[in-house]
Amino acid sequence: MAEIRLTDIRRGLGHTNRKDAWWARPLLIFICLTIFLIYVTWAAFQGNHYTFGPYLSPLYSPELFGDSTHSWFGAKPGWWPGQLHWSPALLVLWAPGIFRLTCYYYRGAYYKSFWADPPACTVTEPRKKYLGENSFPLIIQNIHRYFLYLALFFLLFLSYDVWKALWFMPPGATDTDERSFGIGIGTLVLAINVVLLGGYTLGCHSLRHLVGGFMDRLSGAPIRGRAYQCVSCLNRRHMLWAWMSLFWVMFSDIYIRLCSMGVWNDFRIL
Ligand code: FES
């Protein structure tokens, strides 16, 4: 590993003795996260094409208020300010959004990619003073543990969406009681989404601490010990789960959106 020297620090951002392409990884992360943020923001504000048959886009789940059959409490609420653009996703997407934004892995990734602090190991950064996460504003990142609780609820909602994605209305039917069991490609897309989000959420560092990481000895608590092992197992690949679930949640919305627009056909397996 190349050493960072005082002269490099004086030269400012980007100076290093490293000969490898140290900039490739932060650049790739910057591109991927930017594409994701632009797409998800665009999709969340559309307010249409977020359902197809029994499928509901995970970006809009749970649909608390809305016009589709997935809505819990009926149409757009009267208290929604008239000046504000309406989309059902705006009521819910902030919770998984903040959970991901404050994730320990993503923090490390976007600190490097978006504000080069530092850009990579042994590469000089643009600031001389490091305040870290012990002071405002980054101390707010500690809310991650609270958003973990919300994220666990979202996993339940998304699992319920998979169950609903197994029940299709026959052509021409108007009564939701006429639904019959089936499996479409969309069902699989939503099921994979839950598996990947489960792998990501259940491998969370905060959850690892919660289930047993805070204890000195786990040998006297076998159930806790087993839970700690399971979370630790997922936690070892947290970065991989983070990227796979990020990609798949975006793809799930694209799949349902394009089916709803008539661009793609949803094939029924059963
Ligand atoms: Fe990544 Fe909690 S640390 S989800």
225 vs 211: CA distance, rounded Å: 8
Residue 7 has a pLDDT of 52
Give the whole-angstrom CA distance, residue 60 versus residue 253: 9
Distance CA 65, CA 74 (A): 5
Q: How many residues comprise the chain?
A: 270
Question: For position 216, what pLDDT does the model report?
Answer: 84
- Contact assessment for residue 43 and residue 256, using Cβ atoms and an 8 Å cutoff: no
Nearest Cα to Cα of residue 70 among 54, 47, 94: 54
Ligand 1 first shell, C-beta below 6 A: 103-105, 144, 204-206, 238
- In this prediction, residue 170 carries a pLDDT of 86
SS3 content of the chain, % helix, strand, coil (to 5): 55, 5, 40
Task: Per residue of the chain (270 residues), give pLDDT as tens.
Answer: 455 555 555 566 677 888 889 999 999 999 999 999 999 999 999 999 999 999 999 999 999 999 999 999 999 999 999 999 999 999 999 999 999 999 999 999 999 999 888 888 888 887 777 677 888 889 999 999 999 999 999 999 999 999 999 999 988 777 777 899 999 999 999 999 999 999 999 999 999 999 998 888 888 889 999 999 999 999 999 999 999 999 999 999 999 999 999 999 999 999
Return the closest-CA partner of residue 196 out of 240, 156, 134.
240
Q: Report, in angstroms and rounded to the nearest whole number, the Rg of the chain calculated over CA atoms.
A: 22
Q: Are 177 and 132 in contact (CB under 8 A)?
A: no
Å from CA of 192 to ligand 1 middle = 19
Report which of 118, 72, 102, 39 is spatially closest to residue 242, judged by C-alpha positions.
102
DSSP 8-state symbol, 212: I
- Name the amino acid, one letter, at 226: R
**Domain definitions of the chain by residue range:** 24-260
**What pLDDT is stored for residue 5 in this prediction?**
55
Residue pair 117/125 in contact (Cβ under 8 Å)? The answer is: yes
Ligand 1 atom index nearest CA of 242: 1
Ligand 1, atom nearest to 207 Cα: 2
Q: Which atom of ligand 1 lies nearest, measured to the CA of 100?
A: 4
- Site to probe by mutation for ligand 1, drawn from 101, 102, 105 as the one with most ligand atoms within 8 Å of Cβ, is 105
